[in-house]
Amino acid sequence: MAKIPVQFMLNGAEKAEFIDSGTTLLNALRDKIGDTSPKGGCHQGTCGACSVIIDGELRLSCLTLAETCNGAAITTTSGLSQGGVLHPLQRAFLDAFATQCGFCTPGMLMAAKVLLDHTPDPSRDEVVEALSGNICRCTGYEPIIQAVLTAARSNSQNAA
């Protein structure tokens, strides 16, 4: 089968690859480009572990065809820290002990980032709603909810 070219910005850097038509963005990122931060939990849109941000919107990379991402700007968890400095959400997840096995963590971070980008000072219910597409086996969710609320508070303090 003929390969098709895709080209997009990944965490601020231009990426170009030849892929088989029908390749999911999740597989393209992990197997072709080598960004393994999005995780494949279910490969059918139910767990949220593969979440990435495409042009500012939260997307499931397991249900997104890579060839539809031409020209898009994609953010993954690999792009959160800057020059070795953790993103406030990553810092808050660490401080709140909001990760155990870590498999859900990249998806949770992506969902939380999109929430805080749109709603810098969310209520607890808004945090719960934003995370409701992401499954976690280990933490019982409460530490994750607390981490997102803490990150929102630290963001607003920095802005003030």
Partner 1 sequence: MAIRRGRGVAAINYPTGMNLGGDPTQALVHSTPTGNFMVTLSSVDLGQGMKQIMAQICAETIGVPTDRVIVDTADTDTGPHCMGTFASRGTHRAGNAVIQAAREARQVMLEVAAEELEVNASDLETDGQGNILVKGAPQRSISIFDVALSAHFKRGRSISGRGMFLIPRSYPEKETGAMKPSTCYAHACTVAEVEVDDETGEVTVLTVRNVFEIGRALNPKMVEQQLVGGSWMAISHALYETTEPYYPDRDHGGTDFNQYLMPGPGDLAQTEIIVLERPSADGPFGAKGPGEMCANPQIPAVANAVFDAVGVRIDTLPITPERILRALKAQASN
Residues near ligand FES, by CB under 6 A = 40-43, 45-50, 60, 62, 99-105, 136-139
Residue 144: CB atoms within 10 A of its CB come to 27
* Closest CB 141 distance from partner 1, rounded Å: 4
20 in helix, strand or coil?
strand
Element (H, E) at 130: helix 124-131
18 forms part of the interface with partner 1 (CB under 8 A): no
Q: What tokens were used for 132?
A: 């409701």
58 forms part of the interface with partner 1 (CB under 8 A): no
Phi, psi of 19 (to 5 degrees): -130, 160
* Closest CB 32 distance from partner 1, rounded Å: 25
Of residues 79 and 106, the one with the C-beta less far from partner 1? 106
Q: Which of residues 26, 52, 89, 144 is near partner 1 by CB under 8 A?
A: 144
Of residues 12 and 102, the one with the C-beta less far from partner 1? 102
* Closest CB 134 distance from partner 1, rounded Å: 8
What is the edge-to-edge ordering of all strands in the sheet holding 3-10? 13-20, 3-10, 73-75, 51-54, 57-60
Residues in the chain: 160
